[in-house]
Amino acid sequence: MRVALTTLNTGRLTLPAACLGLSKRCLNLSRKWASERVQWGAPIGKHAAIAEKLARMAAEVFAMESMVLFSASIVDREKSADVRLEAALCKLWATERAWEIANDAMQIRGGRGYETAQSLSARGEEPVPVERFLRDCRINTIFEGSSEIMRLFIAREALDPHLKIGAPALNSQLAISERVKSAIHASGFYARWYPQQWLRPLGGVSNDGLHPVLERHTKLAAKASRRLARGLFHSMAKYGPKLEREQVLLGRFVDIGAEIFAVATSCARAQAMMQSDPSSKLDSLALADYFCRSAHLRIDQLFRSVKHNVDRRGYKLAQRVLTGEFDWLETGIV
């Protein structure tokens, strides 16, 4: 098991690194095409719809590289380091973003993106294999742990410390004295822990020397982290042992955590780049700032969807689909 888990960690770090390479190539091809292809009297990169895609691709490539470098550096410093959580977050976030980036690259290139490299070459055009990139990168969200499995794994890792504290009190197979003792211990722990998730820690986040823009983003990330901890606790209190069945809910919490991780590593890398090479200040700051602003919007939306969603109705509808009640939808295929 130890060997298997170590191998998985390696794969879950090398896979996002490969996704990073693919994403960089897609960004390069998209940038060139958006500056060369003219529509309505201007290069398509000047049009807002395409410009938004390019900005998002560039910012997410920066964030992806920040996450991968940070996680790999932990292993570089200590070969036996436990990077299960970091590797899983990298694998989940990078593979899904790479798929979106490849999809955007195809959309930007239009019909030429859908056309194979061989077909383009036969017509005398540059054989850009965007359609192959899209086909090849689809597997990344499946192997080394599918996105669904990764979300469950990360959620379990997040809940495990709480389960170790509170689970014995709910275990009916234990003696009543042990359950009472566990309940008292859990009550004492959460009486201290829970208020801390509402209050800013003494001294706040360590932001020594951070650029003001990055400092703002790290503070928002720390605030979101405490909110995430409260959300998990509230869900544990609400669902109890049945929480593990709330996979869509847990997936939202995991996605919030992944975004926070991406924000933190992006800010750290941008600060390091500015210190090592002051000439890169405007570049790294612009990329990190845009990414973090976008990530905060996604985090807010995910938090809203924790309470306001149609999960119950969706599950009931899916069960009716499974029983064949809607098989009439499947008729009419030619």
Q: Which of 125, 144, 215, 244 is catalytic?
A: 144
Spatial CB neighbours of 288, under 8 Å, sequence gap ≥ 6: 62, 213, 214, 217, 266, 267, 269, 270
CA distance 81 to 256: 24
Verify whether residue 144 is a known catalytic residue: yes
Maximum alpha-carbon separation in the chain: 81
Angle at 299 between CA 264 and CA 85, to 5 degrees: 50
Residues annotated as part of the active site: 144
